[in-house]
Amino acid sequence: MLTLVLIVVATALVFEYINGFHDTANSIATVVATKVLSPMQAVGLAASMNLVGALAGTAVAQTIASGLINAGVVDVGSQLILCALLGGIVWNLITWWFGLPSSSSHALIGGLIGAALAAAGMNFDVVIWSEPAEQIWRSAGVLWKVIVPMVGSPVLGFTAGFLMMGLLFFTISMMARSGGVLARIARPRWVNSVFGKSQIVSAAGMGFAHGMNDAQKTMGIVALTLVSAEAAGTLDNLPWALSFLHPSDEALEGGIDLWIKITCAVVMAAGTAAGGWRIIKTLGHKLVKLHPIHGFAAETSAASVILAASSLGIPVSTTHNISSAIMGVGTAKRLNAIKWSVVNKMIWAWILTIPMSGGIAYGLYRMFHHFGWV
């Protein structure tokens, strides 16, 4: 059983590595596309800010670890978690191959739901669908923590990007008409220079927001695996070299151990460096032509939405938010600036992610059960 736990932890880190292909690549796509930073500089910035963001809180990790699946209906064991991870990994690789910026977050959540339903024999009570609270932001369950944010956060990202870009255009236009020093500052060369520097700050903010939300999802999975294994006695009599696997008292009470946070952040950065360019090309080049001012507006808008969601423990998609913010910025530029055929493919990938990853995880669990592995 210890071997299975180690396989699950390793698979979780593989998922995090592939998450780097997808979601961290999204977070740096604009700053690379505008040529403010080189790909390697952007990866370095994203890696460092991912780590800082990952250490900044655990609300999202706690949602993944205990807010979606009802442990009273089914044992959330290593086999279930392994199938959930594999469902997310397979779907992520499919969409990565086609350069589609789908959501690793929703792939993981879909995998959890599919594997849990398989383990519970299609008993839908295994999923915490909705736990409304008087204060709506404190509501729990898939409806409030996944579905509502899945629709709402891209709308917020688009609206914020559109409004911020419109405000920047208006301000620069007024400066250009005023004459004198302000008119000179409003010239394209000055605008590109100012927002080129500003975009480094906004890209850092995007990396921080991404770490505070996305990096925590795999942390929650690893923590859930180890806490379940500890409760089952699987981690009893561990060799000294593996003693770090024992959850701390903080972890047993719903926290996340420091080594899990650091490991997940580093692995995610490595994935970005290795394979993120396919996604960067879709968001940074195919969707709309970007200049530094557009990148600044998109990153600032998306990061603001993600940080707000992270503080409430809501696992939103970096992919959805930065993509929709870029769409909003492009629409403010002019409606036909957006390549809507690309948008159509992206939206289909968003819609299909949870059911497809859930279906894959469900099938894997049933196959494991057929062969007597669970």
Percent of the chain with pLDDT over 70: 92
Q: What's the half-sphere exposure (Cβ side, CA atoms, 13 Å) at 12?
A: 28
Beta bridge partners of 127: 69
Q: What's the half-sphere exposure (Cβ side, CA atoms, 13 Å) at 13?
A: 15
Query: What pLDDT score was predicted for residue 123?
Result: 93
Query: What pLDDT score was predicted for residue 210?
Result: 84
Q: Is residue 225 within 8 Å of residue 9, measured between CB atoms?
A: yes
Q: Is residue 354 within 8 Å of residue 320, measured between CB atoms?
A: no
Nearest 5°: CA angle at 244, between 238 and 246? 65
The answer, yes or no, to whether residue 280 has pLDDT greater than 70, is: no
CA–CA dist 5, 222 (Å, integer): 10
Taking only the tens place, the pLDDT of each residue in 144-193 is: 888 998 889 889 999 999 999 999 999 998 888 887 778 887 888 888 88
Region of 335 on the Ramachandran plot (φ > 0 left; ψ -120 to 50 alpha; else beta): alpha
Alpha helices (runs of H) in 232-291, residue ranges in sequence order: 249-252, 258-275, 277-281
Query: What pLDDT score was predicted for residue 283?
Result: 55
CA–CA dist 330, 370 (Å, integer): 50
- Regarding predicted confidence, which is higher, 134 or 302? 302
Residues in Cβ contact with 40 at an 8 Å cutoff, skipping those fewer than 6 apart:
273
Number of CB atoms found within 10 A of residue 109's CB? 29
Query: What pLDDT score was predicted for residue 6?
Result: 93
Report in angstroms the alpha-carbon separations of 275 from 43, 280, 284: 11, 10, 15
The answer, yes or no, to whether residue 120 has pLDDT greater than 90, is: yes
Number of domains in the chain: 1
Read off the amino acid at residue 227. Answer: V
- Least confident range from 139-143, 212-216, 259-263, 361-365: namely 212-216
The answer, yes or no, to whether residue 334 has pLDDT greater than 60, is: yes
Closest CA to 203 of 364, 361, 48: 48
Query: What pLDDT score was predicted for residue 157?
Result: 92
- Least confident range from 91-95, 314-318, 334-338: namely 334-338
Taking only the tens place, the pLDDT of each residue in 222-272 is: 988 898 888 888 898 888 888 889 998 888 777 788 899 889 878 877 777
Beta bridge partners of 202: none
How far from the centroid of its chain's Cα atoms is residue 181's Cα?
43
DSSP state letters, 184-195: HHTSHHHHHHHH
Q: Is residue 157 within 8 Å of residue 322, measured between CB atoms?
A: yes
DSSP letter at 132? Answer: -
Beta bridge partners of 69: 127
Six token digits for residue 176: 């250009």
Closest CA to 337 of 292, 281, 294, 279: 294
Closest CA to 90 of 78, 77, 76, 108: 108
Run of H or E residues at 51 = helix 39-54
Q: Which residue has the tokens 């910026």?
A: 101
The answer, yes or no, to whether residue 289 has pLDDT greater than 60, is: yes
Burial label for 41, CB within 10 Å (0-12, 13-18, 19+), is middle
Residues in Cβ contact with 193 at an 8 Å cutoff, skipping those fewer than 6 apart:
none
Q: Is residue 214 within 8 Å of residue 24, measured between CB atoms?
A: yes
Nearest 5°: CA angle at 247, between 48 and 254? 80
Query: What pLDDT score was predicted for residue 296?
Result: 92
Q: Which domain holds residue 362?
A: 2-370
Taking only the tens place, the pLDDT of each residue in 4-27 is: 999 999 999 998 888 776 666 667
Taking only the tens place, the pLDDT of each residue in 186-223 is: 888 888 888 988 999 999 998 898 888 877 888 888 98
Query: What pLDDT score was predicted for residue 224?
Result: 84
Percent of the chain with pLDDT over 90: 28
Residues in Cβ contact with 277 at an 8 Å cutoff, skipping those fewer than 6 apart:
25, 39
How far from the centroid of its chain's Cα atoms is residue 276's Cα?
14
